Amino acid sequence: MRGVDITVIGLVVFLGAAAIFSWVIYQVNLGTGRAGETIGDIRTGQTFAKMENTKRVLIEDVLFSTHQASLLVASQGGSYVPQRYWMCAGQLTIPTEAEVLFALSNISSNFMRTYIEGINAEKGTTVEGYGCLYAYDPGQSVCDVKDSSECESFPATATKGKISVKGDGEASYQDPLQGEAAPNRFFWIYHRLKGVFDKNLFMVWVNADVREHCTEPTLNNVKIANAIQAACERLQEEFDGYVEVTCTNLCPAADMDCLNVPCQAPSVPEACTTASMQGVHGGMNVEISVKDMKYNIPAAGGSMEPLVWNLMVVSEVAGVEHRPVDTVK
């Protein structure tokens, strides 16, 4: 019995050891398989993360392109042409919302295409489309008020594009790139200026000041120059304390030759009257600069610059009667 017991015990021990050994081999093989799956997931995750990072960079490029364009469009008076006249030979030629939006889109798209070329130079990353940017005007009802708090940003979007990333796996994105250009008071200043010029108030203010000082013994060109500065001060009052308005008189002699400039409004791609000479008479050519010092905007080269709107006004100052009147409010 003792021999049998020993034999049985030995067999049980052997079988148990074999079972344990087999289980260990199985777990090692299983673990290797799981490790392989995990490594594969990590590699795929790295490709997806690169795609997400590319998307994030492109959204930043959309906003940076829009900020840069806003600086340039504002400096040109709200258009795609270098110098925009809001009054030409006494007639209002204010840039429409369509013209302003076209200028922003056209110029920001050019910036964006440059950034896309840089990203496409990276191995394994391809960006197709996204070369056309759109900015959205918050609207006159929101922006044409003295408190700018509801009009200090605006949406910007790039559409019709695709991001593709290849590595150990593939990932792609084919939806719009959009964000909020902030802080930026581009549209606030545009609508505040437009509100003034839609009512022809700048010219009203000039004429009112000339009329008030009409009988004084100073020369006509001095009267007109002083009236321009008085109108400039009135324009300053349309903004808050962060804005500085300056008016440069480009026609110190106030002669009629000042009116001989190509000041007509440009066409928007897809997207003068002589009064009777009475009292003070002369020409007016004025550059108005509206500088916003509340925020600085990202500009080329990594610098930060204040937003500056520059606009031109050309008009004849004619037929102002020699009688004092109350200043038009």
- Other CB atoms within a 10 A radius of the CB of residue 85 amount to 26
The pLDDT tens digits for 62-74 are 999 999 999 999 9
Confidence at 44, pLDDT banded by 50, 70, 90: low
Please, what is the average pLDDT of the chain?
A: 82
- Closest by Cα among 75, 238, 69, 244 to 144: 238
- Position with higher pLDDT, 6 vs 258: 258
Report pTM: 0.78
213 CB-contact burial (10 Å; exposed 0-12 / middle 13-18 / buried 19+): middle
The pLDDT tens digits for 242-260 are 999 999 999 999 888 888 8
In this predicted structure, what is the pLDDT of residue 188? 98
In this predicted structure, what is the pLDDT of residue 121? 87
Confidence at 318, pLDDT banded by 50, 70, 90: low
Cα distance between residue 131 and residue 137, in whole Å: 20
- Position with higher pLDDT, 3 vs 217: 217
- Closest by Cα among 102, 105, 181, 184 to 143: 184
User: Domain locations in the chain?
Assistant: 192-320
**Span 84-107, average pLDDT:** 94
Range of weakest confidence among 28-37, 123-132, 172-181: 28-37
Kindly give the pairing relationship between strand 85-88 and strand 304-320.
parallel
Confidence at 90, pLDDT banded by 50, 70, 90: confident
Cα distance between residue 181 and residue 233, in whole Å: 30
In this predicted structure, what is the pLDDT of residue 248? 96
Structure token digits, residue 257: 């030759």
DSSP H/E element including 186:
helix 186-198
